Amino acid sequence: MHAQNHFLTLVTFLPLLGVLAMLLLKSDDHVSIRRIALVTSLIEFVFSLGLLRYFSSADPNFQLQEIHDWIGRGIQYHLGIDGISLFLVLLTTFLTPLAILCSWRSIQKNVKGFFISLLVIETAMIGVFVSLDLFLFFVFWELTLIPMYFIVGIWGHERRVYAAIKFILYTMFGSILMLVAILWLYNLSPGTRGLPATFDFPEILYRMSHGQIPLGGTTEMLLFLAFLLAFAIKVPLFPLHTWLPDAHTEAPTAGSVILAGVMLKLGTYGILRFCLPLFPHAVMRAAPYVATLAIIGIVYGALVATVQRDLKRLVAYTSVSHLGFVVLGIFALNTIAVQGAVYQMLNHGVSTGALFLAVGMLYDRRHTHDIKQFGGLTTPMPVLMAFFCFIALSSLALPPLNGFIGEFLILIGTFAGHRAWAVWATSGAVLSAIYLLWAYQRVAFGKVTVDKNQKLPDASLREKLILVTLAAAIIFMGVASPLFTHRMAASADNVLRPFNQMQEAMRAKEHARAKLAISAPHPAQLSRFVGALPRPEPRRLVAPTSAAVLCSAGGSPAVLRPQAALECGSLFTLNESEGLPLCCNEAFVAPGTSGHRNHAPTPAALTAATTAASLIPLALRHEGNPVPPQFAGMGVRAFRVPDGVPGRDLLFPHPPLAVSATRVRHPERSRLAARDRAAEGSLFGFVLADSPARPAPASPRLLGGRSFSSDIRRPVYRSGALAPDLLLPSHPLTPGASPKSIAASPRVAP
């Protein structure tokens, strides 16, 4: 195990060894420089394949982790990979040798600097994929920019300076906002428990998902947007894409290959790695908008690509379209779509990288990208054009080539939740055939129209080697996709866990509601059941300010009227000020009445109970819901009902949730208390309707943790006998529980 511990460091920095070696060479020794670059990148590729050996596909956590203290105050050197970054690292190490090979002859100016830049970029990109410390991540993120800036600006074509500056300013703009967000997160990281501040991503994620770092809705959204902007520029997401066509058109071939093949994925990777797990609620809220932009990008990129006259610019616009698919897949928040998105990142890297390589080979011959300058190229160069055709087919997602699988998985996954999105995105698949085949026809078919093209040499051995490698990858990824998806499945699920939990809760809710709508318990039966519950000593009755409701989690839609809750009957109350939950089952307190009366629950009270219960999911789902004024200052909690409560299965079908609504006197304290309880797992959700200090009913805020387990004080409940008719399996009171589970439960058996 120890031997592997430095494996990731080795993989990350190995290219720099090549750089060191090159520094020792004279700068006019081009042959040795090229050879060293190629050999280094090949060794690097072989080494990175070793990751597959040590990687366990069943483990959703980060693997091959490496942690060292770096710059005090919470900045660590922390590396690790999961099923998502694994393949992106491999994509990087796969494409770099090809990029070096394709620059073999075409780069003649300052050869040393060029190959050094390529290898530095390789290290930086791998660094981005394997860093688990936000600070380290940012360092690598910025490190990718500088060599690329030089590659475009020095070795590019005519308008290279404009393109390079546009590229770096665009990206830097996003990076700066991300830096602010990272620092903000660092400052938030001590959380409620006052732990040491840290940049460590898994640690921050742990604290967040355990409710230790309170984020208001706005804070979360701002942080999310700052990260998203940086990533969206990189992707690029419409309308932030205009740097891309310029950068691609002006970059040398190797620059385009690296840029399209890997650097664009830094953006989508960032969204997957950071935005989704850290800011799930903001993601949920923003998903429709981001997905809309992605779909616009798909269609827009395709349409604009169709009418391009410059071959490289055309390919650049296809990236806008294809990356739109990836972003759509991510924001579909569904494991099929996310796996499809990751797969599509790899496909795009291979296919579009290959397209750029092929276009570069044409450029090497003719020094132009103008489609008009080509035409009929199949006659002089049948082999090169055959490969070009094959690559284009892969890019337009022809089954059974690689592009099809990614695109289809994204479509399938997106369709599950958002049919309209999937249908719009499918149109992109039609358009891709138009722009690629039209371009191919103009380049390859017909008679040779330009005399210079008559005698162009066909693909050389070096070029054939590049093309055959890519074609093999295209076929392999098309046929053997489970080899990839099996390894990324666990990680994709891990990224989606918060969303799956939210969706599961929603589903359960709807399920319960649907069942209740079919057979809602009759109030009289419910009251009989309540009457049969054991009564603890009515010693400590609660003040009328505190009203709590215990009822089924499945409120039927018929009782969703908030007014009903005003008459707020409470079955059980929690006395927050005492710090102990106290049960007081005879108190049915209507607001406005002082004191409490011992009486049987009225149907109205029961209705109110159900209503209050439906508040939680409402708040969970529609955070923007206006709060009924009656609930101003109420904290509504949902907690799990422990197993010991008699008749639990009858009243709390899916999941066994209880809900309490309490007027909160110390909002901040309650919030923190709720947070801690959520962290312990006893609380499912906590919604503060609004604080009494600011009575205007603003939007409620969801504050709580997301996991739950049973931790209600047991002594409060004692098992007791129930009226026999309540236990009949066919009883209308058994909406959620199957008759079998009731009969099997020893506690409720008479």
Partner 1 sequence: MFILHHLWLILALPLAGAAINGLLGWKWPKAAVNSIGVGSVALSFLCVLELIREFLQLGASQVPYFEKYFNWISAGIFKVDFALQVDQLTIVMLLVVTFVSLLVHIYSTGYMAHEGGYARFFSYMNLFVFFMLTLVLAANLVLMFVGWEGVGLCSYLLIGFWFLKDSAASAGKKAFITTRIGDFGFTVGILLAFWTFHSIDFGTIFHQAANMPVESAAAFGTLTVICLLLFAGAIGKSAQIPLYVWLPDAMEGPTPVSALIHAATMVTAGVYMVARMHPLFSRAPLALFVVAAVGAVTAFYAATIGVLQTDIKKVLAYSTVSQLGYMFLGCGVGAYAAGIFHLMTHAFFKGLLFLAAGSVIHAMGGEQDMRNMGGLRKKIPVTYWTMLAATLAIAGIPGFAGFFSKDEILEAARNSSGATVWLWVLGIVAAGLTSFYMFRLIFLTFFGKPRYDEHKVHVHESPRNMTIPLSILAFFSVVGGWFAAPHFFGGTDYFEQFLHPVFAAYAPPTPAIPPEAAATSTPAMELLHSLTGIPVILAVLGLFFAWWFYIHKPDAARRAKESLRGLYSLVYNKYFIDEVYAALIINPLLWISTNVLWHGVDETLIDGTVNGTAHVARGLGGQLREIQSGNARTYATWVVVGAVGFTVLLIAVWMVR
Q: Interface with partner 1 by CB under 8 A: which residues?
A: 166, 169-170, 239, 241-242, 245, 300, 303-304, 306-308, 334-336, 339-340, 376, 378-379, 393, 398-400, 404-405, 408-409, 411-413, 415-416, 419, 422-423, 426-427, 429-430, 433-434, 437-438, 441, 444-447, 479, 481-482, 485-486, 489
Please, what is the minimum distance in Å from the beta carbon of residue 242 to partner 1? Answer: 5
Least distance between partner 1 and beta carbon 445 (Å): 4
Q: CB 266 → partner 1: shortest distance, Å?
A: 21
Least gap, CB of 397 to partner 1 (angstroms): 9
In terms of CB distance, is 325 or 708 closer to partner 1?
A: 325
Tell me how far apart the alpha carbons of residues 159 and 138 are, in angstroms, rounded to a whole number: 29
Nearer to partner 1, 399 or 534 (CB): 399
Neighbours of 504 (CB within 10 A): 11
The strand ranges marked E within 235-383 are none
Least distance from partner 1 to the Cβ atom of residue 31, Å: 33
Q: How many Å apart are CA 5 and CA 43, to the nearest integer?
A: 19
- Amino acid, res. 383: V
Q: Which is nearer to partner 1, 169 or 744 (CB)?
A: 169
- Candidates 350, 241, 246; CA nearest to 296 is 241
b (16+ CB within 10 A) / e for 74-83: bbbbbbbbbb
CA proximity to 88, closest of 262, 231, 258, 234: 262
Structure tokens at 386: 């055959």
Of residues 452 and 486, the one with the C-beta less far from partner 1:
486
Least Å distance between CB 182 and partner 1?
Answer: 25
Question: For residues 69 and 204, what is the distance between their CA atoms, to the nearest angstrom?
Answer: 16
Query: Three-class SS of residue 665?
Result: coil
Provide, rounded to whole angstroms, the least separation between the CB of residue 237 and partner 1: 12
Residue with tokens 């604080």: 691
User: Before 239, cis peptide (omega within 30)?
Assistant: yes
Which residue carries 């159900």 as its tokens?
A: 610
Measured CA angle at 387 (ends 381, 390), to 5 deg: 140
Q: What CA–CA distances, in Å, run from 282 to 218, 219, 251?
A: 9, 9, 36
Nearer to partner 1, 277 or 428 (CB): 428
The least distance separating partner 1 from the CB of residue 401, rounded to whole angstroms, comes to: 10
Q: Which of 137, 128, 107, 89 is nearest to 31 (CA)?
A: 107
Q: Which is nearer to partner 1, 357 or 425 (CB)?
A: 425
Q: How far is the CB of 371 from partner 1 (least distance, A)?
A: 14
Q: What does the CA dihedral 595, 598, 604, 609 come to, rounded to 10 degrees? A: 80
413 or 655: whose CB is closer to partner 1?
Answer: 413
d(CA 677, CA 684): 9
Pairs from 560-563 (Cβ < 8 Å, separation ≥ 24): 560/611, 560/614, 560/618, 561/611, 562/611, 562/628, 562/630, 562/631, 563/628, 563/630
| Residue closer to partner 1 (CB basis): 242 or 598 | 242
CB-based contact 547:663 (threshold 8 Å):
yes
The answer to whether 353 touches 91, Cβ cutoff 8 Å, is: no
Tokens of 331: 């924001």
- Local structure of residue 237 (DSSP, 8 states): P
Minimum CB distance to partner 1 smaller for 169 or for 749: 169
Rounded to a whole number of angstroms, the minimum distance from the CB of residue 481 to partner 1 is 5
- Would you say 75 or 411 has its CB closer to partner 1? 411
The amino acid that residue 228 corresponds to is: L
Query: Least distance (Å) from partner 1 to the CB of residue 339?
Result: 4
The set of residues, in sequence order, having a beta carbon less than 8 Å from that of 72 and lying 6+ positions away, is none
Query: Which amino acid is residue 512, in one-letter code?
Result: A
With a CB cutoff of 8 Å and minimum separation 6, the contacts of 313 are 245, 248, 249, 369
Residue with tokens 């047991």: 714
Judged by beta carbon, residue 102 or residue 477, the one nearer partner 1 is 477
If the CB atoms of residues 279 and 325 are measured against partner 1, the closer one turns out to be 325
Closer CB to partner 1, residue 393 or residue 551?
Answer: 393
What's the min distance (Å) between Cβ of 346 and partner 1? 14
Q: Distance between CA 707 and CA 498 in Å, rounded?
A: 9
Smallest distance, partner 1 to C-beta of residue 376, A: 7
Give 225 or 433: the residue with its C-beta nearer to partner 1.
433
Nearest approach, Cβ of residue 94 and partner 1 (Å): 22
**SS3 state of residue 75:** strand
Q: What is the distance between the alpha carbons of residues 323 and 318, in angstroms, rounded to a whole number?
A: 8
* Neighbour count for residue 343 (Cβ, 10 Å): 26
Would you say how long the chain is, in residues? Answer: 750
Contact 646, 529 (CB under 8 A): no
Q: Which residues contact 451 (CB under 8 A, 6 or more apart)?
A: none
**Shortest Cβ distance from residue 517 to partner 1 (Å)?**
22
- Smaller CB distance to partner 1: residue 340 or 349? 340
**Six token digits for residue 341:** 């998105």
Under DSSP, the state recorded for 262 is: I
Minimum distance, C-beta of residue 99 to partner 1, in the bound complex (Å) = 27
